[in-house]
Amino acid sequence: MKRRLVSIFLVVFLLLLAGCGKGTETGVVEKSAKPTKASDQADDKAKDKNGGKKAENQIIVGNTTEMSGDWIPYWQNNAADKDVYDMITGQGTVETTKDGKFVINDTVVKNHDIKKNEDGSKTYVWTIKDGLVYDDGSPITAKDYVASYLLWSSPQVGDAGANNSYGYYLKGWKDFSGGKSKVFSGVRLTGEKTFEVTLSADELPYFYELDAAAAAPTKLSFWTDDQVDIKDDGEGCYFSDNFTTDAYKEKFNQARRAIPRPSTGPYVLKSYDESSKTAVLEINDKFPGDRKGQKPSIQKVIMKKVNEDTQFDELSTHAVDLLVQAASGDDINAGLDLVQKGGFAYTKYPRSGYGMIQFACDSGPTQFVEVRQALAHLLDRNDFANSFTGGFGSVVNGPYGESMWFYQETKAELNEKLDQYAYSLDKAKELLEKGGWVYDEKGNKYQSGIRYKKMDDGSLMPLVINWASSEKNEVSEMLVVKLMKNPDVAAAGMEIKQTVMTFSELLNWLYRDGSEDAKYAVPTYQMFNLASGFTPAYDLMTQYTIDPKFLEQGTNTNFIKDEKLAKLAKDMVKVDPDDKETYKKNFVAFIERWNELLPDIPLYSNIYHDFYAEKLKDYEKNDLMSLGDALLYAHVE
């Protein structure tokens, strides 16, 4: 599991969705045949009509979310960083289909077996194929797959601030990750090409079982050095004794951002310019292909930050070739106008996620549920969603999106059961009075101005909420008008104070990432506006955990500590993979509790639109696919 991934309009976190999603619609019907070979043949066909010269076989991708340069999703990389990570990471034992189903990657896996054990656990036996290599030609062996389980579950990276839940569902993970045992009993290295992982009986059944038993290779020496090794004496895998946090914490922080870095995916990260927020990727000619053997044909992919106000000017002048995940009505209409003029196309698809106001639920006024609920009643969410999406989206009432099969199949039931938090100043006042916000600054009965609440120590807390918002953000600008400066907010007796910052800094405050600077570890802001995206294993267990270790690592970015919510999040996935009816029932129960506690105010779930120059062919995207997966099957004409 990985922490939830966030961006200005989406977050892409370790948190997820299975089953069937809706398909995509493409704005331009005309398509051309895909090349049968990789980059050289595609490039030979790309001739300039005037001079007969080869057109540059590249795509420039514009994203309004700025990359941070933190390329690994175990600390806090955002969705733009995650796009890069997905393009340089591959050769996993399991992949997802276009509709989000988990399947064995036959390009990598020679064979596999599943054994049911007497203690109720289940062992997956993996044998990988010969000839797998990193981009530098160095061999990939079973030890590289084992390294992923051990490194990203280790107390060493956990103590360095990373989310070390990679092997959460495996036998022995708790003792290994907590430092009680140096041996990870659920992971076995049995040969140069063979390894085994055992799912703990305590964690079974699990709806995303195949994903829990999967791994992609990690080059251990890149994160440590050539002196650290992995051993197995028959009881499970363990690190050599020289692997300690003190010895390698600095190396971890360097490796998070280092270029060059090992690539197992279709592309290699060649460079990153911090000032322009631009990353350059080129084809990894050592990539064996995805589960179908598909290899990339676009030689170079340039990822760059674009300004929200000028992004369609850049597309129209070919300063960029592809704009991903346009979310607002203004942006979508601007893109559709461009398509109508000719030379451009678009693909639209429902989102696997939602935009929201996120609260810190352990500090300040928002630690009290009545405050969170009152704020929800002071924002007309239907008006907000219509204004922002321009009709290309809808209001949701929980952490899900329109593309999710289990939401679509329970939508009518949820609409009946959930509080819609209709706009009402009277209801907001009623909730605040119920919550004890009945005093003025002197401790007298509240009459007007800012409300106060008497705390257990006798002090008075003002109803003032500190809001961290990202710069040049249309959602932030709308929230200023429709919430912060809404006269009814002041009439209810509260104040919202906005601080504008870069999105990277917002994430530091959100995750309370003391590894970046000690100041971020101190709870300072109670309200954030951002969005969340989910990958194909919708598992929110660590997102709403009450485990102190995960809270410290920032996997629960709401810092909400509710035992019932945590249990319901776990119950949701503690279901046999074939039992979709129970999964849906548990999903509804979880959402009901979430809707009552309201750790976020859900604002919208979009119909995303990707706009691109017509030279990009066979680009078929949905929100259960990564950008890299879509580009893998596309080509430049």
Q: What tens digit of pLDDT does each residue of 465-520 get?
A: 999 999 888 999 999 999 999 999 999 999 999 999 998 899 999 999 887 789 99
**Rounded to whole angstroms, how far apart are CA atoms 355 and 28?**
28
Task: Give the per-residue pLDDT at 396.
Answer: 94
User: Looking at the predicted structure, is the pLDDT value of residue 16 above 60?
Assistant: no
Band of pLDDT at residue 76, cut at 50, 70 and 90:
confident
**Rounded to whole angstroms, how far apart are CA atoms 164 and 72?**
12
User: Looking at the predicted structure, is the pLDDT value of residue 88 above 50?
Assistant: yes
Query: What is the average per-residue pLDDT within 22-34?
Result: 29
Nearest CA among 110, 135, 115, 136 for reference residue 125: 115
Percent pLDDT > 90 in the chain is 83
Q: Which CATH superfamily is domain 90-257 in?
A: Dipeptide-binding Protein; Domain 1 (3.90.76.10)
State which fold the 353-435+464-605 domain adopts. Answer: Dipeptide-binding Protein; domain 3 (3.10.105)
Q: Phi and psi (nearest 5°) for 254?
A: -70, -45
> Taking a C-beta distance cutoff of 8 angstroms, is the pair 602, 372 a contact?
no
Task: Give the per-residue pLDDT at 551.
Answer: 83
Nearest CA among 637, 610, 612 for reference residue 621: 610
CATH of 5-86+269-350+608-636, one of 3.40.190.10, 3.30.1380.20, 3.50.50.60, 3.40.50.150: 3.40.190.10
Name the maximum alpha-carbon separation found in the chain: 83
Q: Retrieve residue 443's tokens.
A: 């401790």
User: Looking at the predicted structure, is the pLDDT value of residue 47 above 50?
Assistant: no
Asked which of 24-28, 91-95, 139-143, 364-368 is least confident by mean pLDDT, the reply is 24-28
> Taking a C-beta distance cutoff of 8 angstroms, is the pair 198, 121 a contact?
yes
Nearest CA among 472, 527, 521, 519 for reference residue 498: 527
Q: What tens digit of pLDDT does each residue of 167-224 get?
A: 999 999 999 999 999 999 999 999 999 999 999 999 999 999 999 999 999 999 999 9
- More confident of the two residues 48 and 504: 504
**Rounded to whole angstroms, how far apart are CA atoms 530 and 535?**
17
**Rounded to whole angstroms, how far apart are CA atoms 614 and 593?**
46
Global pTM reads 0.86
Domains 90-257 and 353-435+464-605 in one fold: no
- Sign of the four-CA dihedral 89, 94, 95, 101: negative
Task: Give the per-residue pLDDT at 535.
Answer: 85
User: Looking at the predicted structure, is the pLDDT value of residue 1 above 80?
Assistant: no
Asked which of 10-24, 118-132, 343-357, 518-532 is least confident by mean pLDDT, the reply is 10-24
Residue 619, number of CB atoms within 10 A of its CB: 20
Which bin fits 343, alpha (ψ -120 to 50), beta or left (φ > 0)? left
Band of pLDDT at residue 35, cut at 50, 70 and 90:
very low
Nearest CA among 13, 29, 116 for reference residue 614: 29
Task: Give the per-residue pLDDT at 139.
Answer: 98
Task: Give the per-residue pLDDT at 55.
Answer: 52
Q: What is the 3-state secondary structure (H, E, C) of 276-316?
A: CCEEEEEECCCCCCCCCCCCCCCCEEEEEECCCCCHHHHHH
User: Looking at the predicted structure, is the pLDDT value of residue 433 above 90?
Assistant: yes
Band of pLDDT at residue 26, cut at 50, 70 and 90:
very low
Band of pLDDT at residue 540, cut at 50, 70 and 90:
very high
Mean pLDDT of the chain: 90
Query: What is the average per-residue pLDDT within 227-245?
Result: 97
Task: Give the per-residue pLDDT at 434.
Answer: 98
User: Looking at the predicted structure, is the pLDDT value of residue 30 above 60?
Assistant: no
The residues spanned by each domain of the chain are 5-86+269-350+608-636, 90-257, 353-435+464-605
**Rounded to whole angstroms, how far apart are CA atoms 602 and 604?**
6
Q: Phi and psi (nearest 5°) for 272?
A: -145, 125
Q: What tens digit of pLDDT does each residue of 375-415 get?
A: 999 999 999 999 999 999 999 999 999 899 999 999 999 99
Q: What tens digit of pLDDT does each residue of 283-302 get?
A: 999 999 999 999 999 999 99
- More confident of the two residues 75 and 433: 433
Identify the three-state secondary structure at position 573: helix
